[in-house]
Amino acid sequence: MMKINTIDIFENSRKPVVGAGPCSAESEEQVMSIARSLASRGVTFFRAGIWKPRTKPGCFEGVGAKGLAWLKRVHDELSIPVATEVATPQHVEQCLSAGIDILWIGARTTTNPFAVQELADALRGVDVPVLVKNPVNPDLELWIGALERLSNAGVTRMGVIHRGFSSYGEKIFRNSPQWQLPLELKRRLPLVPILCDPSHIAGKRELLSMLAQEAMDLNFDGLMIEAHNCPECALSDNRQQIVPDELFMILDRLVHRSSNSGANEIARYRGLIDEIDDKIMHLISKRMQIAREIGEIKKEKGLTVFQPGRYKQVMERFAADSSVHRLDVEAMKDIFEAIHSESIRQQLRIVNDITD
C-alpha cells in the first residue's frame, strides 16, 4: 500500500494545474523573462530543465548546476514553485540544497529501475514532491514500479506525468499518447495526481491544443507545457515550444466538462427509467390479476389451463408489435414467454386450489 499525501499545487491551485516553462534553462535572462510572463498570468509552477537527457551526443546538454540559482531566483522573486528534472543522486542533492520545490523524473530515467532506485535512496527521509514521467516504453508496471520505489523510500507527495511512448517510424506524434495506460494508472492509483505533457507527446506546436483538450476531457488534473520567449531559437525541442501568449490562448480555449454534470444527467435519465419500471411492474401485476380471474372461469368450466391456440395468438401479436416498435423479436419473445408462463403458473394454482 502506497502512502500518498497531497502536493500543495494540486490542493490549493485553480484547476487545471499548469506547469510551464522552457524545455531548457538557457540563461538567467531567458529564465527570468519567461518566468515573469508566466507567473503574472497564473501559471501554477515554473519548469525548466537544467540537465538535459539528449538522444545524441554533441547536442545542448543543459547549463548544469549553475541554472539552479536562476530557478531559485524565480521562486524568490515571483513566488511561484519551481521544478526541474533529476536523473542522478547528485542532481537530487544539488536541487535539495538549492531549495527547488518540485523534482521530476524524466521518461528515460523511469525506464531504468537501477536509476530510479538510486534516486529513491537519495530522497530517503526528504519527502520533496516528485513527479514521475511515464517510461519511454508503454509498460504500466514499470511506471507504477517507480512510484513504489519512491514510496518505499518514504516519498509520499507524488504525481505522474503522461508524456507519451516512443515508437519506430513515421508518425503523427513524437511520442504516441496511448491514453489507456495513464487512465489505467489513474484507476489503480486514484490518489496520485496526473498531469499531461502535450509538448513531448506532440513534438510540434500545432498539435498542442488538441492534446491539451483531450487530456481535460479525460479528467487529467493538469498540464505541463513547454513555453519559451523565442521557440525557434530554443536550444532544445524548438519545434514543440510556444510563446507565453500562445500558451494562454490554448488555456483560455480549453473546454472544461464537469464529470459531475454528466453524472447528474445520467441520474435524471435513471429516474425516468425507474418510473417506467414501476409502471411495467404495475401492469404485470394487473395482467396477473386478470389471468387469475380467467383461471377461476377455466376451473368452473372444466377447461385446460394451457390452451395452445391462445398461446400461439399471444406470441404472434408480440412478434408483430415488436417490429412496429423496432424491438428485437427474439428478446421480446423471451420476455412475453416469461409473462405468459407466469400467468399459466398462477392459473394452475387456482385450478388446483393451492392457496399458500
Helix ranges (H only) for the chain are 8-12, 28-39, 66-78, 89-98, 107-110, 113-123, 140-152, 180-188, 198-202, 208-217, 244-253, 259-301, 308-324, 329-351
Residue nearest to ligand PEP (CB): 106
If binding is defined by CB under 6 A, does position 162 make contact with ligand PEP?
no
Q: Both ends of the chain: CA-CA distance in Å? A: 54
Q: Interface mask (CB under 5 A) for Mn ion, residues 19-58, using x and -? A: ----x-----------------------------------
The interface region with Mn ion, picked from 56-64, 110-118, 231-239, 341-349 by CB under 5 A, is 231-239
* 303: phi then psi, degrees, rounded to nearest 5: -95, 155
Please count the residues of the chain.
Answer: 356
Choose, by CB under 6 A, the member of 9, 23, 39, 350 that binds ligand PEP.
Answer: 23
Cα maximum dimension of the chain? 104
If binding is defined by CB under 5 A, does position 208 make contact with Mn ion?
no
If binding is defined by CB under 6 A, does position 87 make contact with ligand PEP?
no
Residue-by-residue DSSP string for 215-262: HHHTT-SEEEEEB-SSGGG-SS-TTT-B-HHHHHHHHHH-----HHHH
If binding is defined by CB under 6 A, does position 200 make contact with ligand PEP?
yes
Separation between Cα atoms, residue 265 and residue 258, nearest integer Å: 11
Burial 321-339 (b: 16+ CB within 10 A, else e): ebeeeeeeeeebeeebeeb
DSSP helix/strand/coil, 214: helix
Task: Name the binder of 198 from Mn ion, ligand PEP, none, CB < 5-8 A by kind.
Answer: none
If binding is defined by CB under 5 A, does position 150 make contact with Mn ion?
no
Task: Name the binder of 106 from ligand PEP, Mn ion, none, CB < 5-8 A by kind.
Answer: ligand PEP
Minimum CB separation of residue 327 from Mn ion in Å reads: 56
Identity of the residue, 157 or 200, whose beta carbon is nearer to ligand PEP in the bound complex: 200
| List of residues 6+ apart from 176 with CB closer than 8 A | 164, 165, 166, 167, 201
How many positions of this chain bind Mn ion (CB under 5 A)?
Answer: 2
Minimum CB separation of residue 166 from ligand PEP in Å reads: 9
If binding is defined by CB under 5 A, does position 237 make contact with Mn ion?
yes
Task: Name the binder of 163 from ligand PEP, Mn ion, none, CB < 5-8 A by kind.
Answer: ligand PEP
If binding is defined by CB under 6 A, does position 174 make contact with ligand PEP?
no
Task: Name the binder of 133 from ligand PEP, Mn ion, none, CB < 5-8 A by kind.
Answer: ligand PEP
If binding is defined by CB under 5 A, does position 136 make contact with Mn ion?
no
If binding is defined by CB under 6 A, does position 133 make contact with ligand PEP?
yes
Choose, by CB under 6 A, the member of 39, 107, 123, 201 that binds ligand PEP.
Answer: 107
| List of residues 6+ apart from 229 with CB closer than 8 A | 30, 33, 34, 37, 243, 244
Minimum CB separation of residue 139 from Mn ion in Å reads: 21
| Residue pair 92/119 in contact by the 8 Å Cβ criterion | yes
Cell of 107: 521518461
Cell of 95: 536541487
If binding is defined by CB under 6 A, does position 49 make contact with ligand PEP?
yes
The region, left, alpha or beta by phi > 0 then psi within -120 to 50, assigned to residue 220 is beta
Choose, by CB under 6 A, the member of 91, 157, 162, 163 that binds ligand PEP.
Answer: 163
Minimum CB separation of residue 51 from ligand PEP in Å reads: 10
Q: At what angle do helices 208-217 and 244-253 cross, to 10 degrees?
A: 40
Minimum CB separation of residue 321 from ligand PEP in Å reads: 60
Residues that bind Mn ion (CB under 5 A): 23, 237
Residues that bind ligand PEP (CB under 6 A): 23, 49, 53, 106-107, 133, 163, 200
